[in-house]
Chains A and B, each alone.
Chain A
Amino acid sequence: MTRSIDLTRRGALAAGISLAFFGGGAYAAAGDKKLVVFIQRGGADGLSVSPPIGDRNYRPLRGEIAIPDDQALKLDGDFALHPKLTSIYALAQKGQARIAPAVAIPNNQRSHFEAQDVLESGVTQVYGSTSGWLNRTLTAMSGRKFEGMSIGNQAPLILRGPVQAASWSPGPVSRGERLPMILTDLYHNDAVLSRAFASGLETEAMAMTAGATMQSGGARQVAAQGPAAGNAQARQLGTSVAGFMMQPGGPQLVAVSIDGWDTHANQGGVDGTLAGRLAYLDSVVDGLQKGLGAEWNNTIALVVTEFGRTSRINGTRGTDHGNASTAIVMGGTLKPGGIIGDWPTLADGKLNQGRDLASTLDVRGLFKGALSQHLGLDKRQLDTVVFPDSAAIAPATGIA
């Protein structure tokens, strides 16, 4: 992304001139490796995301929220995907989606806020870093002109840090040209405001050519309008994200937050609260994947959460905060293979503290695997800059 403010485009939009596909530069980003990280905030129930249908303890533990065998989308004899994950399942059948069924952050204490902090900061010490690991990836990639962008109106920790990342959410576009120039002057002595504002203006200009056309007030609000409208909006959101990534100077590293996974009560099975969130996620992924077109072959998308949930259904037909959960790894040129990491099983003696799925893979190992094999980051950068003091955590192998 250029660092100057492109007021011409802003002005052109004000005049109602469409700049979509205005030149041959639309595919200038082709060939760049891209990474999208979806964060499921609230602790997604991995045992529902990818039901371990071959584990004989799954159904007894899960009771009424277990996914029936005839409705689970079977990956193999051991694992399936939730019935609402139809697009991701279609990718899996082409070898373009795999699961890591027992991933966890280090030192999980079952607090949403601490766990999200560790997941995004990439350090083991809670509140131990004010920058996120995707931001430090931008630092590590310096010289290769990588850009980061978060989707949503708040800046997530994963992309906060020394490098200014862009951010975007759907909404109306403003008209004026003078005001941005005047404010750029006034923000001159305020480092935080000046760099955020400059980035915002660039993204706004880019949104026009990226076809990022979603209006109104955000995913949560849209989701409240009902599942069908919500899923159409979700698909449009995914398409818009792809639109940005296809722009010249568009972002190669993107973080998308999806809320609503904290299912303590009445979480449902094939249908219900959790199923609705999974349908939403599936639609965003579908929009993104189709929007990227051929660039899907240069993209890896990860779906991760701060922790999984208790393996046993609780007293209010939901699940409480647990440990390991499922991560989903997708991409056009994913290496074929089964699950990433091992399956610890749900046997009595194997559960973490007798209640949660145990972890077989440190989430940093998954991230490191993607960053090394897909983006080509070297071991020294991964072990010291991106995930400090993590030399003991081996990258997951065989991803890309």
Chain B
Amino acid sequence: MALPDNDTMAAIAVTRFGLGARPGEIDAAKGDPRGWLKSQITAGPADQPPGDLPDSAHRVVANHDAMAERMASRSRPAASTSPGLAPSPMMAGGDAGGLQEEFMARAQLAAGASASFRERWVMFWANHFTVSAAKGEMRPLPGPFEREAIRPRVFGRFENLALASSRHPGMLFYLDQAQSVGPDSLMARSPAKDAVSIDGAKMGLNENFARELLELHTVGIAAGYRQADVTELARALTGWSVGGVQEGGQAGRYMFRPTAHEPGERAVMGKRYRDTGETQAVSIMVDLAGHPATARRIARKLAIHFVSDDPSPVLIGELEKAFTASNGDLGQVAGALIDADEAWAPQAVKFKTPYEFIISAHRALGVAPANAGAIIQPLAGMGQSAFAAPSPKGWPEEAANWASPDGLIKRLNWAEDFAQQVSGGSREPIRIAQETLGARLGPATGAAILAAESRPEALAILLMSPEFQRR
């Protein structure tokens, strides 16, 4: 496959692989577009959002305390009957659970990041391992989950990323794993004796996490597992839980509860696993992470995210090969993506998600998000509420989903407002367009920007142009 010219490659590197150009960024990438991207692959952790944000345990406990206080002030019985095994329901008003603070910090990082390919790579994995506040009581957790489980490991081995995700309180709560109890475990047989029994109710298995671990995080349904495999994995996972607020230093942190673990050997996808307690599920997950179906699925998802809703089999094959050959080393996979000629097709066919659109608009005009409301409200209107993907599958990728009539109107309305509020400095709008799109700026859009009757109109045209909406 023939590569586009160097200037176009620089524009593609910054806008397709990255999160959109900040002033001067495309010029900086012109020396070596591929090298510009590869320099962002790091052995260490990815960037963290600015500010001194509390960890997940503090978020969970603080939210629980705020909730209990609120209940008490209403002179209702406080939530003391609940041992805090689930994060408390969100509070009305204010920044319940710190979600806005977390989202704002993440958006500021994205809007200002110089290594924006790395940040897009983080976004991909955070979406692959979705933890969503669409479940109301989850508000304290998607932010810390991303910071603690995802960001430190995005260029490490897939297996470690999957394990970290699976042992984070965010995931354990989101997919109901924290409260899953083996039907024949000690805890289920004598619930009254255990301090963490849930309101004295009968306890048992919850297979939600096991199913999504198979279907979404690793092998995918095409691998041919059965309901029995889901149930067996759910049994193996029993005991993987989170400390309650009455469990001292464990509160809001991952912990293994031996008494909740279902005793016995398990069989998943044709392989038997001895009962080794906590590590029984680890052994299964290691095999799932290394399964050929996982390599294939990840390769396909990456190709769809970065290049096309209908990616070329060649590209998928190259990514799959890199994943398998490196034993799931995600830095190697990122390198293979950059090396693949198919990833550099000159035609931009990916349609930005609302988050990508709003972040890239801030980058183009060189501004940081003004406040949480200024981005959270419009994102909700465009269908991408902050940290609230509709399901464990995460946000959809396809243009067919986002380029809806209503979606475009919502973008138009926001672009008009944004262009009124943000001037982009003293640069001429056409200069901003050239710096934002580089060689991808087409003559029709350029002419329309030059013919605009006001600066806000010119900027709104840029933001709504097909070149800017796609990447």
Contact surface of A with B, Cβ cutoff 8 Å: 41-42, 63-64, 109-114, 126, 130, 150, 152-155, 160, 164-169, 171-176, 178-180, 182-183, 185-187, 189-190, 192-193, 196-197, 199-201, 203-204, 216-218, 220-221, 224-226, 259-260, 262, 264-265, 314-318, 320-321, 353
Contact = CB atoms under 8 A, between A and B. Distances in A.
A42 B391 CA distance: 8
30 contacts: A114-B221, A130-B400, A152-B406, A153-B381, A153-B410, A154-B396, A155-B405, A164-B405, A169-B383, A171-B410, A172-B413, A174-B416, A176-B416, A179-B416, A183-B464, A186-B465, A192-B399, A192-B403, A196-B403, A199-B405, A220-B388, A314-B204, A315-B180, A315-B181, A315-B188, A315-B205, A316-B198, A318-B176, A320-B207, A321-B211
A110 B111 CA distance: 39
Determine the main DSSP class of A at the interface with B: loop
B206 A316 contact: yes
Given A110-B227, A203-B405, A315-B179, 19 more contacts: A154-B396, A155-B401, A155-B403, A166-B405, A168-B405, A168-B406, A171-B381, A176-B457, A179-B460, A193-B403, A193-B466, A196-B407, A197-B405, A203-B409, A218-B381, A224-B136, A314-B206, A315-B180, A316-B176
Contacts of B409: 171, 174, 197, 200-201, 203-204
Nearest to A259: B390
- The 9 A-B pairs at the shortest CB distance, nearest first, are namely A315-B204, A153-B383, A217-B380, A200-B405, A155-B404, A199-B405, A167-B406, A200-B409, A174-B413
A20 B405 CA distance: 22
A113 B407 contact: no
Contact of B444 (A112, A153, A186, A220): A186
Nearest to B198: A316
B408 interface: yes
B448 interface: yes
B122 interface: no
A265 B176 contact: yes
A316 B204 contact: yes
B150 interface: no
Contacts of A165: 405
A264 B466 contact: no
A40 B174 CA distance: 20
A226 B90 CA distance: 11
Contacts of A314: 204-207
A112 B391 contact: yes
A160 B460 contact: no
Nearest to B393: A113
A315 B209 CA distance: 14
B453 A315 contact: no
Contacts of A168: 405-406
Residue of A64, A172, A180, A182 contacting most chain B CB atoms (<10 Å) = A182
B445 interface: yes
Nearest to A198: B405
Interface in B152-193: 175-176, 179-181, 183, 188
A153 B211 contact: no
Given A113-B391, A183-B464, A225-B92, A264 B206 contact: yes
Nearest to B199: A317
B355 to A, nearest CB: 13
Contacts of B188: 315
A37 to B, nearest CB: 17
A196 B101 CA distance: 34
Contact of A41 (B203, B390, B399, B400): B390
A187 B448 CA distance: 12
Nearest to A155: B404
Contacts of A185: 444, 448
Given A315-B181, A316-B204, A318-B206, A179 B413 contact: no
Contact of B201 (A166, A178, A197, A317): A317
Given A110-B211, A179-B460, A217-B377, A171 B413 contact: yes
B351 to A, nearest CB: 8
B428 interface: no
B382 A315 contact: no
Contacts of A174: 409, 412-413, 416
Interface in B428-444: 444
A111 B400 contact: no
Given A171-B381, A174-B413, A316 B399 contact: no
Contacts of B203: 315-316
Contacts of B452: 182
Nearest to A160: B400
B127 interface: no
Contacts of A320: 206-208
A39 to B, nearest CB: 12
A261 B396 CA distance: 19
A155 B444 CA distance: 28
Nearest to A215: B381
Given A186-B444, A186-B461, A217-B380, A153 B201 contact: no
